[in-house]
């Protein structure tokens, strides 16, 4: 009960601030990127229409160590929900999971294209605003790394999407 109260208070105070920060920065360049800073992006790799799942990941052109896309580029955030009641979701029988294409146990979706916010808290708040409580920016290791599978889809299957990586400097936020 105490954790729920703390989480509710955090959302009550941080979410409006993060949404305000994002709304101010979504139509113009990130106010704090380092010159030439790049962030990590992924793309749609495959769809499984039978199960309603997708495979997303690096593709041929990502750089998990230094970033691959200038932080001034407007792209959707890739968001995920994989915790809470009913999660993680079980691996569908028609999906084959492997080390590099691991089942995430979640649902993914994308925001509208935007210059990435300057903080991870703000990026997570954009996902929560777009999809609801428990949604956040996908993290590189939500599968095993490099790629993952989940229910859902990308709004524009041809677009690359911003993701987070927690152990490399290749993000546009801090």
User: Span 9-35, mean pLDDT?
Assistant: 38
| Contact call for residues 160 and 110 (beta carbons, < 8 A) | no
- Taking all residues of the chain, what is their mean pLDDT, rounded to a whole number? 84
Are β-strands 147-152 and 102-110 bridged in parallel, bridged antiparallel, or unpaired?
parallel
> pLDDT tens digits for 123-171?
999 999 999 999 999 999 999 999 999 999 999 999 999 999 999 999 9
Per-domain residue ranges of the chain: 2-28+39-162
- Indicate whether 11 pLDDT > 50: no
Report long-range pairs for 24-30 (Cβ below 8 Å, ≥24 apart).
Answer: 25/114, 25/115, 25/117, 25/118, 26/114, 26/115, 26/117, 27/114, 27/115, 28/115, 29/71, 29/72, 29/115, 30/71, 30/72, 30/115, 30/116, 30/117, 30/118, 30/172
pLDDT digits 0-9 by tens, 70-124: 999 999 999 999 999 999 999 999 999 999 899 999 999 999 999 999 999 999 9
pLDDT at 29 > cutoff 60: no
């Amino acid at each position: 009960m105490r954790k729920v109260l703390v989480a509710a208070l955090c959302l009550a105070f941080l979410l409006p601030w993060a949404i305000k920060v994002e709304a101010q920065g979504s139509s113009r360049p990130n106010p704090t990127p380092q010159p030439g800073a790049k962030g990590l992006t992924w793309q749609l790799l495959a769809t499984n229409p039978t199960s309603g799942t997708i495979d997303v990941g690096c593709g041929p052109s990502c750089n998990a160590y230094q970033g691959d896309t200038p932080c001034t580029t407007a792209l959707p955030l890739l968001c995920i929900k994989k915790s809470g009641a009913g999660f993680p979701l079980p691996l569908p029988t028609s999906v084959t999971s492997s080390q590099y294409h691991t089942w995430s146990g979640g649902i993914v979706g994308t925001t509208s294209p935007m210059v990435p916010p300057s903080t991870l808290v703000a990026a997570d708040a954009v996902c929560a605003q777009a999809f609801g409580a428990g949604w956040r920016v996908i993290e590189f290791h939500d599968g095993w790394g490099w790629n993952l599978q989940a229910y859902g889809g990308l709004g524009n299957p041809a677009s690359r999407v911003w993701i987070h990586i927690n152990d490399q400097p290749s993000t546009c936020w801090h």
